[in-house]
Amino acid sequence: MIDHILRRDLAELTALADHVETIHAGEAVILEGLSVLLVQIEQEIKKHMPKKEQILFPQFL
């Protein structure tokens, strides 16, 4: 499930955010940096999820 979110959904959100930032550069200050933030979130999730998947998730099965 996490792989699905990381590989598909988060990557798609990052691409869409980058597209919106490019199209509306200078118009929507609130959106500036959104794609960078999404990339940082993806990196943090990738860093922390292997441990969670090995230790925590098996306990739920």
Indicate the domain borders of the chain: 2-60
Task: Categorize the per-residue pLDDT at 61 as very low, low, confident or very high, splitting at 50, 70 and 90.
Answer: low
Distance CA 1, CA 4 (A): 5
pLDDT in tens, 5-60: 666 788 888 888 888 888 887 775 666 788 888 889 888 888 877 777 777 766 66
Note the pLDDT of residue 29: 64
Other beta carbons within 10 Å of 20: 15
Torsion angle, alpha carbons of 7, 10, 14, 20, to 10: 130
Radius of gyration of the chain (CA): 15
Note the pLDDT of residue 17: 86
Q: Read off the amino acid at residue 58.
A: P
Q: Please name which of 19, 14, 20, 1 lies closest in space to residue 43, comparing C-alpha atoms.
A: 14
